[in-house]
Structure 1
Amino acid sequence: MKRYLKLLTPKLDEEKQGLFKKNIEAATKFLLSKHGNFQLYVWAVLQGSKHDDGSLVFAYYKDGASDPNFIYFAYGLKEIKC
């Protein structure tokens, strides 16, 4: 996760970098506290790439649910309008 955050930060504009840095510590602490409950996916691996610098996706099952919930870093996503 540390590598991903280090690679993501310079790709953001100044305003987004400030917001990202302000909130990432709390988000990281939350994710690490729940580490044993998550399945971790790396987007580059899902796409067949051999690089480990793709987006991180965290999946977890809430209260015995049969379908997982997913957590993404919003700043690591690219919006595409259809």
Structure 2
Amino acid sequence: MLLLFGLSGCSLAAGFEEAAECFDGADNDADGAYDCDDSDCAQLADCAASDDDDSSPADDDDSSPADDDDSSPADD
């Protein structure tokens, strides 16, 4: 039982706090990737469901620093 509990928290990098670091708009591990674009977060259900590739010029949903201009009325 102890072994199963110990392994259950190993799905993300050591010291990585999912709620605090996968949705905070920051590059917490300084690898150049933010939130769901970071490989440490990409496997999370909330990230996989978003399917945001940030490729549209109208993309202003704040999922990456590049689309945080708040110029769109639909901006999250």
Give the alignment's TM-score, normalised by structure 1.
Answer: 0.26
| Greater RCO, 1 or 2 (C-alpha within 8 Å, sep 6+) | 1
The structure richer in strand per residue is 1
The structure richer in helix per residue is 1
Give the alignment's TM-score, normalised by structure 2.
Answer: 0.27
